[in-house]
Structure 1
Amino acid sequence: MKPEISKEFINLEKLFQDKNPKLYRLIPTFVFKYLRRVIHQDEINANLYEFRDLHGIDFIKAVLNRFGVIIHSKDLKNLPATGRYIIVSNHPLGGLDGMALMQEIGKVRTDFLFPVNDLLMNLPNLKQLFIPINKHGSNTENIQLFNDTFASDILLLYFPAGLVSRKQGKEIIDLEWKKTFLSKAIQYQRDIIPVHISGQNTNFFYNLANWRKKLGIKANIEMLYLVDEMFKQKDKTITITFGTPIPIKVFDKRYSNNQWAKLLKEHVYKLGSGDESVFKYITN
């Protein structure tokens, strides 16, 4: 079978040429050179080509091994081998955290899918583990696939914040957890497994995000540096803590779905600090 990945799978200049020729002609050569370095184009292409025949969990293991990342799991026993669950987690890093989570879950079950930005569907090695979410428009086909997946028996993985954690005050913490995951979990009767993932990006990333907001710039320009941040995670340890499953009936009319999402987010961080192993709103 002919490999889907060439030695120059990612080509920034060609991408701009194809998507926006007018903008491409306006961008100086030195800017492209800088961008290639920031996204580690040569290194990414070399790794993608080397691992071109690996897919799914095998590809993830190879990448994490290449980065020298050590994964430490706590209470993986809380993940049942069967059942219709949705795993919800904080999103501290922007790449390796998701891969680390999938690797650990893969030790227990392989029937899982991860809703991701539809741009990630361009990675042939991982697309079998993903379902696309179009954040920049409406795609009827993707919405139907999203709903069908919730209705299925497949395990779902979910980052409710949708974006990488930011620095708020002195804490590295997720932005608001959107209620979509909870509304869908209630609709399709999926119990929830809370998970905390350790890790943080560099101060450069957080400071850039804060200055961008102070200057009133709406575009998340700090996201451009997420690949560079990923390369700075080499040889680090990621700790993943699996919480006790929460029956979906817990999320009743005591609070709105937005309030429940906020309480669940708080529980995930207490899970990570060891302060709370069981969601305190569970009633007998």
Structure 2
Amino acid sequence: MTDDRLRIDLERVLRSRLGDRRMRWIPRRLIAWLERLICQREMNEVLDHAGHLRGAEFCHAALDHLSVSYTTTAEQRLPDTTRVIIASNHPLGGLDGITLIDWAARRYGCQPIVMVNDLLMAITPLAGVFLPINKHGAQSREASEAVDRAFASDRPVIMFPAGLCSRQLPGGTIADLRWRPTFVNRALRSGRTIVPVRFSGINSPSFYRFARLRQRSGLKLNIEMALLPREVFRHRGSHFEIRIGHPITPESIAGGRPQTIADQIRTTVYTL
């Protein structure tokens, strides 16, 4: 294998950002700890196995490497069109997206589009299916036009309306936070049918504890994202279920309040 293969190298990234002078002040033990935290070795093993592939093919190979499988329930409910918005809960924050990409490509026979945090564009094998959204500032005109083109296309669009993976809610329930109504507005504007989906699975208790500590500290930055690679590898050998709800046509929700509709669809998803 050549040296130009796709690799994750945290030390090289830090050196490129900080320079050699500042890097001298960072203990090698700290770098090694960060590499273990983000599961650098394990992620590079996945890239060795699937890094030459792109889009849904990469996702399928990654699932194969991790021995992850899934089944679907009520797939007969899906409409006979690729112009759908698959609105799913987001229990895992990584592996659920990879699995839904694989499933959607198999079901619809084309590469889906997934709206994601623009930070995830660093995952180059998925650049062709990821549609970046800037969650911390205004969208550029170019980015907004790319979103419009995506919804005008015939490719299915996968959205996680909560905007981040599930958290432990007051009372101990693990579920998404309130869904944002963007997917409802986009369905109305583009004439797409919404397909509600519930994806099974939860992350480890330590992930939710860390998220609660971060929230109590008042820190706004979602630093628990750094723990998501570990959650991916914790689910090696897992089996997931994709439960499909009844499709919702844009005509059936026209005139309604988008946030109210989003709340209702979220409730429906958790009854699937």
Does TM-score exceed 0.5, indicating one fold?
A: yes
1:89 aligned onto 2:88? yes
Report the counterpart of residue 114 of structure 1 in structure 2. 114
Report the counterpart of residue 46 of structure 2 in structure 1. 47
| Distance 1:86-1:5 versus aligned 2 partners, 3 A rule | farther
Report the TM-score, using the length of structure 1 for normalisation.
0.87
Partner SS, residue 107 of structure 1: helix
159-168 vs 75-84, greater mean Cα deviation: 75-84
C-alpha distance after superposition, 1:211-252 (max 9, x if no partner): 221222222221110001111011111110111111112224
Report the counterpart of residue 123 of structure 2 in structure 1. 123
Q: Would you say the 8 A contact 1:166–1:206 is kept in 2?
A: yes
How far off is 1:3 after superposition? 8.2
Partner SS, residue 178 of structure 1: coil
How far off is 1:153 after superposition? 2.3
Any gaps of 5 or more consecutive residues in structure 1? 272-284
Deviation above 6 Å: which 4+ runs of structure 1?
none
Q: C-alpha distance in 2, partners of 1:93/1:82?
A: 28
How far off is 1:165 after superposition? 0.4
Report the counterpart of residue 59 of structure 2 in structure 1. 60
| Distance 1:247-1:142 versus aligned 2 partners, 3 A rule | same
Report the counterpart of residue 38 of structure 1 in structure 2. 37
Q: C-alpha distance in 2, partners of 1:26/1:219?
A: 25
| Distance 1:20-1:199 versus aligned 2 partners, 3 A rule | same
Partner SS, residue 195 of structure 2: strand
Report the counterpart of residue 152 of structure 1 in structure 2. 153
Partner SS, residue 106 of structure 1: helix
Aligned residues with identical type, % of pairs: 37
Report the TM-score, using the length of structure 2 for normalisation.
0.91
Q: C-alpha distance in 2, partners of 1:82/1:252?
A: 20
Q: C-alpha distance in 2, partners of 1:133/1:234?
A: 29
Q: C-alpha distance in 2, partners of 1:187/1:139?
A: 20
How far off is 1:111 after superposition? 4.4
Cα RMSD after superposing both structures: 2.1
| Distance 1:142-1:89 versus aligned 2 partners, 3 A rule | same
How many pairs align?
268
Any gaps of 5 or more consecutive residues in structure 2? none
| Distance 1:116-1:4 versus aligned 2 partners, 3 A rule | farther
Read off the aligned partner of 1:84 and give its amino acid letter: R
Report the counterpart of residue 243 of structure 2 in structure 1. 241
Partner SS, residue 114 of structure 2: strand
Q: Would you say the 8 A contact 1:205–1:222 is kept in 2?
A: yes
How far off is 1:43 after superposition? 1.9
Q: C-alpha distance in 1, partners of 2:133/2:10?
A: 23
76-85 vs 168-177, greater mean Cα deviation: 76-85
Q: C-alpha distance in 1, partners of 2:63/2:210?
A: 27
Report the counterpart of residue 173 of structure 2 in structure 1. 171
